[in-house]
Structure 1
């Protein structure tokens, strides 16, 4: 996608966001159900990208009912519980418009990895050894000695660019910059996707979830690596595509909600007077249990 087409995509996202904001909001109950579904989708997909073997329905069972899955590994279950807690923490911070800080990033990683890291003292602690993506030993992440200054730069970049970049570009770049540093021993991918959605939620955009099927996972990983090599727009385009799809889905949901409300109002046969005047059964009257 050339620069002109990418700018057109960003303009569509802005227009879709404005369109979404013009609709009547869903009821409190519907919002809660939608948010729960999005949270479960995030926990399942983000964990699955990293190799967690639980499927979406098993993840939902654990989070909704507390019922574990027969044959599931303890590690997979604990990763699910930890990421669910981290997601809720992330959304709480987003709702309060908390500025990005190293404390926030450390806390997110600490929650994500607390029950599954081999050494709990490593959760939220910057690594002291070199690491690299699988198959890219010749392209390691940031040298351990440079992690702290690079994280300082990340926070400074965030404070300078959050209000000037398009919200989706900012979210994608935050994800990319964090992953390129890879500051922790474990949980960097899950933490990066939380940070990306933290940025989106702060700007009023819906949470997006990268799907873990083979094709989309490969595309996601491949574009991240290309972006690390200098072509960051290719990753921004991927995230913008997910955002566009989710905005359109939300708008369709809001349209359906308004349609349902209009139909219910138009087809209402009872007036307030007829409702208040309607004879009500007395539960103590034995006649209500009899046939005619």
Structure 2
């Protein structure tokens, strides 16, 4: 029964994505503002999951205006700048239709960690020490000597799975598999969330942002732990699907309102038609 509900949800997500194509797109300025908002949300939420104390507005000030925040550490500021640059890099990878590779994964982690003072030299390099989830020392991540073959196997799996799994399921599984390997000394969660959004946006779905409040973070971490410890991927796949559905619903609401506003504006005017057809200001 649970499998049937999940299958139905994936079909619903496909329909919602297709419905977005029926509406007129936002004008370029509104697209830029929306993309800017999603970018800030991602940098803030993804870093907050890892313990950053920056607020959303503080994150926006750092990455949009180049400001420093009184009372906040240099490390948190640099983490925000790094993740914003990594986010932009992933968007460019999607735009250029760059295929997933081991180099791509390394480079995303390299950008995530690039300016973080004490970890700069290890950015993009696989770890050589054991690692485990906080509070679960008995459950090691992939052993250091097994990391490279595990990532190689992950890339091989991804290049096959992308063609036969639903894009939302594929994105969730890609995230879960990469973070379970935990190949880098730091930045694995941020790298994995970027990889998940790389997969989603490549397939035409919007970016999703896992929320960092305690309840949402605990649910996210618990679902990852279940997948890692039992092999049951469904709780995490369903969590990602719920985020996608919520994000799609908000995007559709926005597009419907935009369509209504455009139609209202076209009807509600006393100007002559030749003025109405004046080219849109850029």
TM-score (norm 2): 0.95
Paired position in structure 2 for 1:173:
173
8 Å CA contact 2:39–2:84 kept in 1: the answer is yes
Paired position in structure 2 for 1:5:
5
8 Å CA contact 2:75–2:117 kept in 1: the answer is no
Give the Å deviation of 1:63. Answer: 1.6
Partners of 1:54 and 1:10 in 2: how far apart?
34
Paired position in structure 1 for 2:91:
91
Which digits, 9 at most, give the CA deviation of each residue in 1:168-211, with x for residues without a partner? 00000000000110000000000000000000010000000000
State how many pairs are aligned: 276
Paired position in structure 1 for 2:254:
253
8 Å CA contact 1:68–1:77 kept in 2: the answer is yes
Partners of 1:104 and 1:236 in 2: how far apart?
23
8 Å CA contact 2:45–2:211 kept in 1: the answer is yes
Change (3 A) 1:117 1:158: farther
Q: Does 1:141 align with 2:146?
A: no
Change (3 A) 1:274 1:155: closer
List structure 1 segments (4+ residues) > 2 angstroms apart after TM superposition.
272-276
SS of alignment partner, residue 21 of structure 2: helix
Paired position in structure 2 for 1:283:
none
8 Å CA contact 2:83–2:112 kept in 1: the answer is yes
8 Å CA contact 2:113–2:119 kept in 1: the answer is no
8 Å CA contact 2:128–2:144 kept in 1: the answer is yes
Q: Which moved more, 1:267-276 or 1:148-157?
A: 267-276
8 Å CA contact 2:112–2:187 kept in 1: the answer is yes
Change (3 A) 1:191 1:274: closer
Q: Does 1:186 align with 2:192?
A: no
Give the Å deviation of 1:94. Answer: 1.0
Computing the radius of gyration from Cα coordinates, the structure with the larger value is 1
Q: Gaps spanning 5+ residues in structure 2: where?
A: 278-282
Partners of 1:142 and 1:191 in 2: how far apart?
16
8 Å CA contact 1:95–1:201 kept in 2: the answer is no
Paired position in structure 2 for 1:223:
223
Change (3 A) 1:199 1:267: same
CA RMSD of aligned residues (A): 1.3
SS of alignment partner, residue 85 of structure 2: helix
